Structure 1
Amino acid sequence: MATLNPIDLSGLNDERLASYVRAQIAEACEKNGFFQVINHGVPVELMDRLKQVGRKFFDLTKDEKLAYAGKPVIGSEGYGSRMVLDETEPKFWREFVELHTLPLSERHYNYWPQQPAEFRETVEKYTAALLDLPQRLLAVISESLGLKPSYLKEALGEPHQNIVFQCYPPCPEPGKTLGLPAHSDVVAITILMQEGDGLEVAAENDTWELVPNHPNAFVVNLADQIEIITNGRYKSANHRAIVNNDRTRRSYVTFYHPAKDQKIFPAPELVDEKSIDQVNHQKHLP
């Protein structure tokens, strides 16, 4: 099991502990880009409410859920599902609801479930409460690289946010598929709330390590855009979701994207002759 012990963010408010907490975050970013945080400022009761509306929605009938389907069903917004056991096909075993939450102009409420009745209000409050956490983490990560605290925030521009409710039902043959195949996130930073074990992160020697499900913790995942800005110093790690044959697992993932018109490039302070030589060497590899 991965040694992803939660980092207590309350230490950032204590001068005696702040440097230790920053060092923990920096080490995790450099090691694999995955870490967990507790005392993150998001009310536990709000986290619980989001889980409740997620459970209630996925418990609806198939027809009720399809009323909020994207076009096509496996779309970038709205409800979708895919259950594949054929080993020759891309491997998926999940159903989901993806919603755009920021900027406000991109909220398409026709895709937001009206059942349960409290769904919309809960999502709005939850995603609003999650705006501060990635900004605080980006400031710490910037400083750990010797950059000004606001560097990553400014480099990403106006944040775009979306949330994905994911449900992984019991699978009759879990050895033939995955909830989600191995991938890295194309965004800047991802904040995930687990409900059950099943998330795995790539480890050494082509192995996978289970990310433990700690109560009231968020899993933080650095994504592709941070790897670019840090010039590869901090990695966007591959991860995947596994399934089982006896219980349902759910997760709630909030993604933070750069502004759509933002140009993403390595921080000049992190580019040196060595890194340029490495890039040129890779370009000439056969």
Structure 2
Amino acid sequence: MATLKPIDLSGLDDERLASSVRAQIAEACEKNGFFQIINHGVPVELMDKLKEVGRKFFDMPEEEKLVYAGKPVLAAEGYGSRMVLTDSEPQFWREFVELHTLPLSERHYNYWPQKPAEFNETVEKYTAALMDLAHRLLSVISENLGLKPTYLKEAMGVTQQSIVFQCYPPCPEPGKTLGLPAHSDIGGITVLMQEGDGLQVAAANDTWELVPNHPNAFVVNLADQIEIITNGRYKSANHRAIVNSDSTRRSYVTFYYPAKDQKIIPAPELVDAKIGPLYRELYYLEYLQALAAGRAKDKRLVQSFAINNPLIT
């Protein structure tokens, strides 16, 4: 697996460095679908403010957080908590708040915490900055594939975005659970800010590589719909979160994904004429329904949408 040393995104604005930065992003997308970025244009003060309101919320008494409790439905929102220890299959050890931020019509403010007082304003400013960053990254990735800069953005349709605040408290027996079990993200592109080590990405020989926590960096990972659109050229990677018995870890994850009625198809420009498409056409709602139904528990969900082809692994 390639190193997860951060890529300095400011180099994109320097014609002497831009080609090297693009090449670094292309290599990361080809090899593991994960990379870290620094000097990305999102103000550090805004990043710190989001961490602050997240910490303040999770530090509130449980009864105050439960005011914003969500329901376990297909498009979950609100506060939730799940702490499970088991001697068999790894479960969850985290509490979280999930909020839909785009489109504006799907902002359900009844799930948005009113404490601390600056929570909503901070989330709105932060997610706007992250949306700009996601579009910039998608433009670079599109061009690296020989596509027009807006290809991936247009391929996913009307902009959809959500943010999840995650808190992983100290666990008395960390060997019996995970913060989040292994999975690949189901949408388009994910941008994560973490406080503390604990994120791992699947590496060779069924091992896991820790994603180091670099100051003021974002972790970027490609999700399943990008794998389908790129016809398997870029793959979404499995990742997970581990916990420990000594300290609390937090992360702030922003997801960019297709609209439910968006048709997802492999880009014709990336389909080999002799081999053909590796994935079938689908509507994103189908993908959400397959996830809810627990399809493909023993392999990545995206594989269940593959056309019978020995090249899909």
TM-score (norm 1): 0.95
2:187 counterpart SS class: coil
Which range moves more in the overlay, 71-80 or 203-212? 71-80
**Residues 50 and 123 in structure 1, CA contact (< 8 A), matched pair in contact too:** yes
Q: Match of 1:141?
A: 141
Q: 1:2 to 1:64 in 2, by over 3 A?
A: farther
Residue equivalent to 2:23:
23
| Residue 282 of structure 1: aligned partner | 309
Kept after mapping to 1: 8 A contact 2:90/2:178:
no
Partner of 1:80: 80
Q: How does 1:1-286 map to 2 (within 5 A)?
A: 3-72=3-72, 76-88=76-88, 91-276=91-276, 281-282=308-309
SS of the residue corresponding to residue 16 of structure 2 reads: helix
Which protein, 1 or 2, shows the higher relative CO under an 8 Å CA cutoff with sep ≥ 6? 1
Three-state SS of the structure 2 residue aligned to 1:221 is strand
Q: Distance in 2 between matches of 1:271 and 1:137?
A: 22
Cα deviation, 1:54-87, whole Å, max 9, x if unaligned, reads 0000000110110100125998100001001023
Q: Shift of residue 154 of structure 1?
A: 1.1
Deviates more, 1:82-91 or 1:13-22: 82-91
SS of 1:130's equivalent?
helix
Letter in 1 for 2:228: I
CA distance in structure 2 between the aligned counterparts of 1:251 and 1:280, rounded to whole angstroms: 35
| Stretch deviating more after TM superposition (31-40 or 88-97) | 88-97
| Identical amino acids, percent of aligned pairs | 82
**How many Å separate the matches in 2 of 1:72 and 1:155?**
29
Name the aligned partner's letter for residue 234 of structure 2: Y
Provide the residue aligned with 2:295 in structure 1: none
SS at match of 2:40: coil
Task: Map Cα deviations across residues 238-284 of structure 1 (whole Å, 9 max, x no partner).
Answer: 0000000000000000000112221001000111145438766538x
Q: Let me know the Cα RMSD of the aligned residues.
A: 1.9
Matched positions, count: 284
Gaps of 5+ in 1: none
User: 2:271, 2:277 within 8 Å by CA — same for their partners in 1?
Assistant: no
Give the structure-2-normalised TM-score.
0.87
How many Å separate the matches in 1 of 2:165 and 2:52?
11
Query: Secondary structure at 1:10's aligned position in 2?
Result: helix
Q: Structure 1 CA distance, aligned partners of 2:277 and 2:253?
A: 37
**CA separation in 2, counterparts of 1:191 and 1:276?**
31
Equivalent-residue separation in structure 2 for 1:217 and 1:180 (angstroms) = 21
